[in-house]
Amino acid sequence: MMDRFFLYDEKEQTKTRFVSFMGEHQRFDLAITQTDRYYGKKLVLNLQGNRYAIIGQDDLEEPGYLESVFQLDDEDAAELRDFLFEVI
């Protein structure tokens, strides 16, 4: 059997917020994890769409970022962006 080569294997205390809200056209079920990793950005998991991204304020300001990462149309991405601006 081959020895496993780990790049890292660490445990860390995190803070996770689970939130669900209804947008104009779809429901959002999110897990937002705050950690000491990722340079202050948060790990945002879309539990409905099985997609996730490491998101900071700069990412929210990037045109088309949420649309691409979470495969959303412009309207749904705008609703998610408005919410995330409040929590990130």
* Per-residue model confidence (pLDDT) at position 62: 96
Tell whether 6 is covered by a domain.
no
Q: In this structure, is residue 9 part of a structural domain?
A: no
Distance (Å, whole) CA 24 – CA 5: 47
Rounded to two decimals, what is the model's pTM? 0.89
pLDDT along the chain (88 residues), means of 10: 88 96 96 93 95 97 97 96 96
Element (H, E) at 67: helix 65-69
**Does residue 2 lie in a domain region?**
no
- Number of structural domains found in the chain: 1
Domain membership of residue 62 (yes or no) is: yes
- Is residue 58 one of the residues assigned to a domain? yes
**Domain assignment present for 5:** no
Determine the 3-state secondary structure of 79 from DSSP.
helix
Look up the domain containing 62 and give its range: 15-87
